[in-house]
Amino acid sequence: MRFVETNGLLTPELLITTTQDPVKISKIPQILTPELNLHYPFTNELQTHLQGKQLLLDELPFSLSQLYEHYLNGYISFRKGILNQNKILNCTRCGNEDPALFASFDCARCHTHCNYCRKCITMGRISECTPLISWTGPESSFPPPDQILTWSGTLSQGQQTASDKVVEAIQNNSNLLVWAVCGAGKTEVLFKGIETALYSKKNVCIATPRTDVVIELAPRIKDSFNTIDVIALYGGSEDRTKTAPITITTTHQLLRYYQAFDVIIIDEVDAFPYSVEPMLQYAVEQAKKKNSTTINLTATPNQQWQRELKKGTRPTVTIPARYHRHPLPVPQFKWCGNWRKHLKKDKLPPTLLGWINFHLSINKQGFLFVPRIDLLEQIVIILKKLNNRIEGVHAEDPFRKEKVTSFRKGEIPILVTTTILERGVTVPNIDVAVLGSEDQIFTESALVQISGRVGRSAKYPTGDIIFYHYGKTKAMLAAKRQIQNMNKEAVEQNLLN
Ligand SMILES: [Zn+2]
Ligand SMILES: [Zn+2]
């Protein structure tokens, strides 16, 4: 799309009545949005579709003249999709500024060689002649029903303390880190805060890097707030064009949002790919309103955050104990020699083999974490000779879901896995072993998450976690220390039985 600009005001190429030559939007120095005309009868459907978003023309099922009229009356804004300042390109939607992640093509829309962003191309191509369109009119508001929170459970003492802090942060538009150990029950900690937000007509977004979490969380949130509209967004979800007081979404889908949320909660903030992908962190920054609350939730904050917490520069509340009031199982370290050498001879280190045989003999299930897929495949072949029902699972395994389900049903005695199952999978009464815990894939946070698989249910609150290693690493020591510190803090706060 090309525009003609007069005193900062844009006219789309197709609606031009003058003889002025249109140019692509990236060439226009300054773009104004006219003052809001309060008497203009704006279209409600457009408001619902566009508020809090930043969309491309192709994503809007409205005519150009309808959009233009809303622009002239101050209800929508056009921003440059790609900034081009002295040939330095910058994508407004995803924050990309890496020259290697831009490309150019002969563009039929602006009839020039047009640069586009490759980084966010899965959300629709954004090029130098693409306007990003947002709503600048009033927001539709929802009258809160008498009862918002329909959940009637009770919180543990640790959860209650954190819940109070969440409410306070939302009331004050301030930020908070909730550091809750694996199995603390962090979702319930949000409920009062969400209710507080909705009563004051603030909208809430729960974002997470992982689609699995969106799918698991959505029904729980719907049940707990059953008078409120809740939408769930992930690649392929049907709620994409809807707006609701509560949005649950992958961080990726936030690329379509702009200054949308009063409260944004990021669950599993340390999970891949959010922790290593600046685009997703940019998306969160863009999606929240200027005056808003960000609540980060994690069981394993990174080193920097831990340091800021100690210095007191990052407001944090910790839940150091599980809801069932038993301490976290502490990992044991067991040296197993050069296990790769054993594997070359198609053998496992004897001490690990002892662990496997013991679990098979007492019929207790276990996860065995290993560093890599090729090793996993080899280990599974060795173990199937001991027991044919032993299985392995990894990220590219097409039967991943089925195998996890069979494991839950008790049909698989030992499930060998890569770090793919370090989070989210809760199976009662299991032990966990890690082979090669010195491998660099096992970071401090991965090892804490893996240890967190043990003893989660109130019925089986204990279990063993063993790191079989060929030399201790800093990450192993830090993970153990972190778990011990949380147990100590839990004792001090009287959160354990
Ligand atoms: Zn173009
Ligand atoms: Zn981009």
Pair 432, 451: CB distance under 8 Å: yes
pTM: 0.91
What is the pLDDT at residue 454? 97
Q: Are strands 2-6 and 332-335 parallel, antiparallel or unpaired?
A: unpaired
Question: What is the per-residue DSSP string for 266-285?
Answer: EETTTSTTGGG-HHHHHHHH
What is the DSSP-derived secondary structure letter of residue 228? Answer: S
Question: Left, alpha or beta for 109 (phi > 0: left; psi -120 to 50: alpha)?
Answer: alpha
* Structure tokens, 222: 């719907």
Which domains, ranges and CATH numbers included, belong to the chain?
Answer: 2-135 (no CATH), 157-319 (3.40.50.300), 332-480 (3.40.50.300)
Tens-place pLDDT, residues 369-392: 999 999 999 999 999 999 999 999
Residues bordering ligand 2, an ion, CB closer than 5 Å: 91, 93-94, 96, 117, 119-120
Ligand 1 centroid–CA 16 distance in Å is 18
pLDDT confidence band for 210 (50 / 70 / 90) = confident
State the Cα angle at 299 between 298 and 300, rounded to 5°. 90
What is the pLDDT at residue 437? 98
Q: How many whole angstroms separate alpha carbon 54 and alpha carbon 255? A: 8
Ligand 2 centroid–CA 54 distance in Å is 12
* Structure tokens, 111: 């009839």
Identify which ligand lies nearest to the alpha carbon of 120: 2
Interval 73-91 mean pLDDT = 96
Q: How many whole angstroms separate alpha carbon 334 and alpha carbon 172? A: 48
Interval 246-262 mean pLDDT = 96
Assess whether pLDDT exceeds 90 at residue 438. yes
pLDDT confidence band for 140 (50 / 70 / 90) = confident
Identify which ligand lies nearest to the alpha carbon of 94: 2
Ligand 1 centroid–CA 9 distance in Å is 20
Average pLDDT, the chain: 95
Identify which ligand lies nearest to the alpha carbon of 106: 1
Give start and end residues of each alpha helix (H) in 363-443: 373-384, 400-408
Q: How many whole angstroms separate alpha carbon 307 and alpha carbon 453? A: 26
Question: What is the distance, to the nearest Å, from the Cα of residue 382 to the centroid of all Cα atoms in its chain?
Answer: 36
At 136, which amino acid appears? T
Q: How many whole angstroms separate alpha carbon 378 and alpha carbon 339? A: 13
Tens-place pLDDT, residues 263-306: 999 998 888 888 889 999 999 999 999 999 999 999 999 989 99
Pair 62, 47: CB distance under 8 Å: no
Q: Say which residue the tokens 């930043």 belong to.
A: 54
Identify which ligand lies nearest to the alpha carbon of 22: 1
pLDDT confidence band for 115 (50 / 70 / 90) = very high
Q: Rg (Cα) of the chain, in Å, rounded?
A: 26
Ligand 2 centroid–CA 288 distance in Å is 18
Identify which ligand lies nearest to the alpha carbon of 26: 1
Assess whether pLDDT exceeds 90 at residue 321. yes
Interval 38-48 mean pLDDT = 96
pLDDT confidence band for 143 (50 / 70 / 90) = confident
Interval 438-461 mean pLDDT = 96
Identify which ligand lies nearest to the alpha carbon of 82: 2
Ligand 2 centroid–CA 31 distance in Å is 20
What is the pLDDT at residue 214? 92
Ligand 1 centroid–CA 309 distance in Å is 47
Ligand 2 centroid–CA 260 distance in Å is 19
Identify which ligand lies nearest to the alpha carbon of 279: 2
Ligand 2 centroid–CA 123 distance in Å is 9
* Dihedral Cα 307, 311, 312, 316, nearest 10 deg: 20
Interval 112-125 mean pLDDT = 95
Reference 90, options 328, 279, 268; nearest CA is 279
